[in-house]
């Protein structure tokens, strides 16, 4: 992307104030996640205060403590690292699988398209959350297995999207010209079709990050997250036993998830407006 095209993209993205605010919130959450070891160098599992200290009652623990006396602020900041890491890596895995399958199916068509789409439909018939639970339960709950499980249930939608984009683009004149001059299939896919399909892929992948964070939170809430790391879902799961007497334990990570997922969706809408040529002059 040239400097002029980049500046034009930024201007189009900046038209949406909601997307700008959401991008700022995401940036702040990412900074907190990266700086977690510096802000809270102690282990977030350590019991450092009186249990059930409510937010605002002790300056040492601004967000309070849980039923074990663990600092909720430390848990939220360290939990952000895990939730964001799983969301981004699982989406990257899903994008790799989905783009690969969708590109081959959409470009080649015929038997390859039929078999790959049957495989995609097979995965789509499986309830994503239930399938993720089964994968994690079979492979043991760790950050790696949770990431793999979420990636495995997230790629079919991307595959179908990429296939549709490739079916539309493979008949365009610039692709036919590339075929006429003897360019190979892999080069045509990588240099001619994929760059033109990239805007739709970027928007969909950004929304998949939000879905991955929600799936991770659900798995951790059910006790299927990595027991050695703290995430937002695990904090909510631990706080459900004290929901009546100390609702803030579950509410604070819940608000963090809502803010993150909502921000990602708003940024995705902003990217769609900025990258979609039909909306540029809206």
Taking every pair of C-alpha atoms in the chain, what is the biggest distance, in angstroms? 74
- Residue 169 and residue 193 in contact, taking contact as beta carbons nearer than 8 Å: yes
**Token pair in block for residue 164:** 């549709």
Average pLDDT over residues 34-50: 90
pLDDT in tens, 123-135: 988 888 999 999 9
pLDDT in tens, 24-34: 999 999 999 99
pLDDT of residue 278: 53
The neighbour count for residue 56, using CB atoms within 10 Å, is: 11
**Phi, psi at 47, each rounded to 5°:** -85, 110
Q: Which among 203, 210, 126 has a CA at the least distance from the CA of 158?
A: 203
**Token pair in block for residue 245:** 């007497």
Dist. CA 259–CA 251, nearest whole Å: 12
Residue 250: pLDDT band with limits 50, 70, 90? very high
Dist. CA 11–CA 21, nearest whole Å: 15
pLDDT of residue 155: 93
What are the domain boundaries of the chain? 31-49+60-279
How confident is the prediction for the chain on average, in pLDDT? Answer: 88
Q: Rounded to a whole number, what is the distance in angstroms from the first to the last CA of the chain?
A: 22
Residue 257 has pLDDT above 90, yes or no: yes
Alpha helices in 170-193 (DSSP H): 173-180, 185-188
Dihedral over alpha carbons 87, 228, 48, 245 (to 10 degrees)? 70
Residue 277 has pLDDT above 60, yes or no: no
CA 108 to chain centroid: 29
- DSSP character for 59? T
Angle between helices 143-169 and 110-125 (to 10 degrees): 140
Percentage, residues of the chain above pLDDT 70: 95
Domain 31-49+60-279, what fold? MetI-like fold (1.10.3720)
For residue 237, give Cα distances in angstroms to 216, 231, 241.
12, 10, 8
Residue 1 has pLDDT above 70, yes or no: no
């Amino acid at each position: 992307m040239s400097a002029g095209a980049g500046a034009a993209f930024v201007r189009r993205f900046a038209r949406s104030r909601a997307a700008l605010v959401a991008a700022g919130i995401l940036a702040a959450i990412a900074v907190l996640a990266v700086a977690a070891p510096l802000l809270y160098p102690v282990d977030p599992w350590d019991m450092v205060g009186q249990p059930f200290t409510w937010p605002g009652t002790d300056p040492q623990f601004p967000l309070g403590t849980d039923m074990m006396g663990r600092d909720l602020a430390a848990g939220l900041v360290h939990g952000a690292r895990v939730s964001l890491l799983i969301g981004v890596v699982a989406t990257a895995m899903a994008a790799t699988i989905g783009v690969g399958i969708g590109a081959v199916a959409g470009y080649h068509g015929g038997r390859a398209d039929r078999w790959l789409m049957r495989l995609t439909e097979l995965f789509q018939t499986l309830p994503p959350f239930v399938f993720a639970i089964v994968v994690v339960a079979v492979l043991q709950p760790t950050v790696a297995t949770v990431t793999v499980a979420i990636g495995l249930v997230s790629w079919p939608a991307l595959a179908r999207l990429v296939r549709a984009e490739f079916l539309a683009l493979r008949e365009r004149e610039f692709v036919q010209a590339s075929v006429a001059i003897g360019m190979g299939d892999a080069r045509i896919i990588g240099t001619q079709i994929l760059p033109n399909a990239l805007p739709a892929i970027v928007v969909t992948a950004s929304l998949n990050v939000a879905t991955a964070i929600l799936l991770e939170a659900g798995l951790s809430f059910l006790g299927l997250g990595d027991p050695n790391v703290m995430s937002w879902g695990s904090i909510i799961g631990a706080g459900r036993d004290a929901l009546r007497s100390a609702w803030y334990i579950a509410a604070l990570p819940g608000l963090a998830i809502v803010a993150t997922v909502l921000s990602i969706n708003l940024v995705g809408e902003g990217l769609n407006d900025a990258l979609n040529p039909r909306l540029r002059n809206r």
